[in-house]
Chain A
Amino acid sequence: DVKVTQSSRYLVKRTGEKVFLECVQDMDHENMFWYRQDPGLGLRLIYFSYDVKMKEKGDIPEGYSVSREKKERFSLILESASTNQTSMYLCASRGGWTEAFFGQGTRLTVV
């Protein structure tokens, strides 16, 4: 069974902290994505990666960075968390020309 696992369901962090969101997939997919989802704005692409050590900016990369050292793992990093980064974060992976599979989401609150 296809699986995309995000390390945390809920996180509460303080303003200015460095935050790591981890995503692991077990399908040997080349492509991995990080989205954030906000009410009224839908899913917006932050970063994606189509190969190990490769990354490309999405629509809203400011304030974020990513790391993909291994094929199965794609990390999203908030260098200095701010309250406007409070959101639901969704990781997805995709192999070839198929549908994307999503993780269960991480609801991040920055206080």
Chain B
Amino acid sequence: EDKVVQSPLSLVVHEGDTVTLNCSYEVTNFRSLLWYKQEKKAPTFLFMLTSSGIEKKSGRLSSILDKKELFSILNITATQTGDSAVYLCAVEALGGGSQGNLIFGKGTKLSVKP
């Protein structure tokens, strides 16, 4: 059975700290891994990763994929209170005749204290 496991499930840090969120997966026919940020409403897209070892970066956020060890990390440096959210990891697995579905982990709830 395909699965995506995120850790930790929740995390409390102070502004300025650096955090690392983890996502491991077991899926057949892996195609890509995606990170989303969810505040009080719709998840918003952060990164899509398809190749091992290539870091994707956007401001203070970065992410990398290891397809051999089947995991990804999301790093946030110099955290701010606006980074408080649930971070979702999703893996796309190809299946049947349709394009891939996204299988989500349970998310990591990040709280950044002033």
Contacts and interface: CB of A to CB of B under 8 A. Distances in A.
B41 A105 contact: yes
Contact of A56 (B34, B41, B44, B98): B98
A102 B37 CA distance: 11
B contact residues, range: 20 to 34
Contact of A42 (B45, B88, B96): B88
Nearest to A30: B99
Interface of A: 4, 30-31, 33, 35, 40-45, 48, 50, 54, 56, 58, 90, 92, 94, 96-105
B41 A42 contact: no
B34 A99 contact: yes
Contacts of A45: 101-103
Interface hub of A4, A54, A105 (most chain B Cβ within 10 A) = A105
B99 A40 contact: no
Interface of B: 31-32, 34, 41-45, 48, 88, 90, 96, 98-107
Contact of A99 (B42, B45, B96): B45
Given A97-B32, A103-B42, A42 B101 contact: no
A58 to B, nearest CB: 7
14 contacts: A42-B104, A42-B107, A43-B88, A44-B104, A50-B99, A54-B98, A56-B98, A90-B42, A94-B102, A96-B99, A98-B48, A102-B44, A104-B41, A105-B41
B99 A31 contact: yes
A76 to B, nearest CB: 16
B45 to A, nearest CB: 4
Query: Closest 10 A-B residue pairs measured CB to CB?
Result: A42-B106, A102-B42, A43-B104, A50-B98, A99-B45, A104-B42, A104-B41, A102-B43, A42-B104, A42-B107
A41 B99 contact: no
Contacts of B103: 45
Contacts of A90: 42-43
